[in-house]
Structure 1
């Protein structure tokens, strides 16, 4: 039964960010179809962060009507919305409309908003729901969350999105001589299957997550003997930790005393952290999510495309492998030292700084036009994602062992960091045009 719960927890985590992760790995194909082109990632980061209205509404409901909004109801609702949005993407992702004299992918943006609404709200509902399971299942949930990026990445690799080659082309000069001018032109190879089929895969993954959640709610109370009330019938409220953390801590202590010796340790029996340490932990959460969800994704096209479409394709697809890999490492090697996590955050920030620097140097970054340059940029994106993903997991484990409210606030701070990162980059990319695109086949870099 424990193995079954691990599988269900993993499948449940699969739906946490699968939709948004799927859009990112499909970008190498989408940016060449939709009118926004290379600026599309910066639009997406802002739209994704605007979807934080979901967590905001959940928080307001808990404050204005405490105890009325149940985790189960919210999770059922957002997963259903995610499935519907994925289905609509299959048919309308490429539709455009004229707005203020320009052509925009309004259908894609609207559906992306609803998918982001699902994923952002999951940050403040999925983790608190996992509090009803024993602590060892939280890492399994994170593995499932990591797979929400890995599985779309594998599908994108099989699809072969965005692969291109340079071919000779000619154009007649508009003069009396009628001579032809030869130049290189980027020619994109046809993918192995269409974007519509890819979105069908995302729909299936969302359905798997919903089915896993239904199964977790229907597990009998005797299914996991190490805890009482595995999933309470009444459905716990997200606000329980926010509204009265003291009562929650006391309840956990009483529960711990009433259980057997093997199960007697309450949540707060782990290492205590001072106020300054907690501030440091939450600052790490803010920075990591600002970097991974806002700052760097906005300029991924500018940092990778100058090295060629293959580099962009591999960095988008393979970087998603680093997330579940980091979660798996965290399962067997857990280091909760704040010094270690701080150093790892600094290391990941270094890789992110390199990626940002290459984006700023576009269309002529370091080692442009060389195999070494392509390998370095792909590895930099992998290590950037992997190191910071490990820190995310360990911070989640630390806060899970502290209290329910600590996890809820972790989700809120996560979204705050992501919002700050995306709002910082949008004007730099779309208003001030600090990042310059370049055609890999025609850009000359001395």
Structure 2
């Protein structure tokens, strides 16, 4: 294996969702400067789902014009669009336009939509492109995809986004400032501006483009590349045997739910029965709904009652857990569907605890105890760790089934995320079922 190819695959994966992840972590600095205020997260949720028009088009093209669409020109276009959009965002995110008699951040919303199209479309183009490389590099790509959330979060922490200090609130009484007896939250000024942060995101997209160019043209990578016969499963069913499998090992690793050896499907190589394929896609949609939409939408509600440090620690360590799960999968690729189902149930259990604490906010269990802080941080880490491992293993399994399988993998990822986001939007933003905890003044019974 080539170390250079591993590095390039990781950097290429980092460009998949770095722009939108960066937008989310920068919200505390952006929101006070725009007329939409804290309605912006709700707008972003809708915009990201609208951007699924990109994955829908690519998936339909693969389905109805099988083997015609080459991902490489599409990737060049969307990564180039990401570079331009993040660069323009650095200069125009604060600009407003008068619509219907009120100010709106039209440039910010339009550029956010373009970035959403870039990132959503990466799910159905980046993964199939990785079919051109040897199987080992797919896990490295997933590690880079995990870093696309971690790296912007670390830069935002260095920037000082969302760091709160509590101080005594004062009131003016007869022109004299007196202590009100309450505490107020004061946000620490950022070490550098949102413009610099968006320029950093643009640089990350440039790195992704350079990595992609080298993956296509560097001589060292060419030795790690498979033949273009990787399309053969889509073009000539009679030649499927020519495609290299993920592991040259025997079928002993083939996980079966049904004991019937002849219960094959027409999906991919026919390794799995129709029931098993359905199970894999249901798990994939469920896991991505939880990790990409449902639980992130209530992260602040589940963590902030335990303090600002608990919130930042949970967010940072959960972001670290994603690439860690990818590295574990690199050395321990357990492809058993039974084990996958078990890990999914365990991860869902951790998610249920997180959701329960969010529902109990601002007074969740053990809110005044260090044990409560440890529990919520550890639960977030284990939640992301287990379900990220499941996502990687499903990607590994579908990668072995051929090019079209990875296209459908990306489509199901987006579908699950969309359903999760649509389900949580009314609960969080319309009906207000979750209540935020005040980092300084929340009073809960002991």
* TM > 0.5: yes
TM value normalised by structure 1? 0.86
Residue in 2 aligned with 1:435? 434
1:168-203 Cα offsets, whole Å, 9 max, x none, are 1222369x9998744211111123323222222211
Matches within 5 A, 1:128-207: 128-172=128-172, 181-207=180-206
Residue 77 in structure 1 maps to residue 77 in structure 2: yes
Residue 250 in structure 1 maps to residue 238 in structure 2: yes
Could you tell which deviates more after superposition, 416-425 or 361-370?
361-370
Q: CA RMSD, aligned part only?
A: 3.2
CA distance in structure 2 between the partners assigned to 1:405 and 1:269 by the alignment? 24
**Helix, strand or coil at the partner of 2:442:** coil
Residue 299 in structure 1 maps to residue 303 in structure 2: no
**Retained in 2: the 8 A contact 1:31–1:37?**
yes
Q: Which runs of 5+ in 1 are unaligned?
A: 257-261
CA distance in structure 1 between the partners assigned to 2:131 and 2:177 by the alignment? 74
Could you tell which deviates more after superposition, 72-81 or 178-187?
178-187
**Equivalent residue pairs, number:** 429
Q: CA deviation at 1:39?
A: 5.5
Q: Which runs of 5+ in 2 are unaligned?
A: 255-270
Matches within 5 A, 1:247-286: 247-254=235-242, 271=254, 272-286=271-285
1:286-314 Cα offsets, whole Å, 9 max, x none, are 10011111111222222222233333223
Q: CA deviation at 1:86?
A: 1.2
**Retained in 2: the 8 A contact 1:90–1:197?**
yes
TM value normalised by structure 2? 0.86
Q: CA deviation at 1:76?
A: 0.5
CA distance in structure 1 between the partners assigned to 2:325 and 2:375 by the alignment? 20
Residue in 1 aligned with 2:370? 371
Residue in 1 aligned with 2:87? 87
Residue in 2 aligned with 1:110? 110
Q: CA deviation at 1:98?
A: 6.4
Could you tell which deviates more after superposition, 112-121 or 269-278?
269-278
**Helix, strand or coil at the partner of 1:168:** strand
For residues 142 and 207 of structure 1, do their structure 2 counterparts lie closer, same or farther at Cα, with a shift above 3 Å needed? same
Residue in 2 aligned with 1:382? 381
CA distance in structure 2 between the partners assigned to 1:42 and 1:189 by the alignment? 25
Q: CA deviation at 1:226?
A: 7.2
1:218-238 Cα offsets, whole Å, 9 max, x none, are 135993167435xx9xxx9xx
CA distance in structure 2 between the partners assigned to 1:336 and 1:50 by the alignment? 34
**Helix, strand or coil at the partner of 1:131:** helix
Residue in 2 aligned with 1:360? 359
**Helix, strand or coil at the partner of 2:132:** coil
**Retained in 1: the 8 A contact 2:5–2:215?**
yes
For residues 222 and 148 of structure 1, do their structure 2 counterparts lie closer, same or farther at Cα, with a shift above 3 Å needed? closer
Q: CA deviation at 1:251?
A: 2.8
CA distance in structure 2 between the partners assigned to 1:264 and 1:298 by the alignment? 38
CA distance in structure 2 between the partners assigned to 1:421 and 1:263 by the alignment? 31
Could you tell which deviates more after superposition, 374-383 or 390-399?
374-383
Could you tell which deviates more after superposition, 409-418 or 305-314?
305-314
Q: CA deviation at 1:415?
A: 0.7
Residue in 1 aligned with 2:409? 410
**Retained in 1: the 8 A contact 2:124–2:407?**
yes
CA distance in structure 2 between the partners assigned to 1:406 and 1:324 by the alignment? 23
CA distance in structure 2 between the partners assigned to 1:53 and 1:226 by the alignment? 31
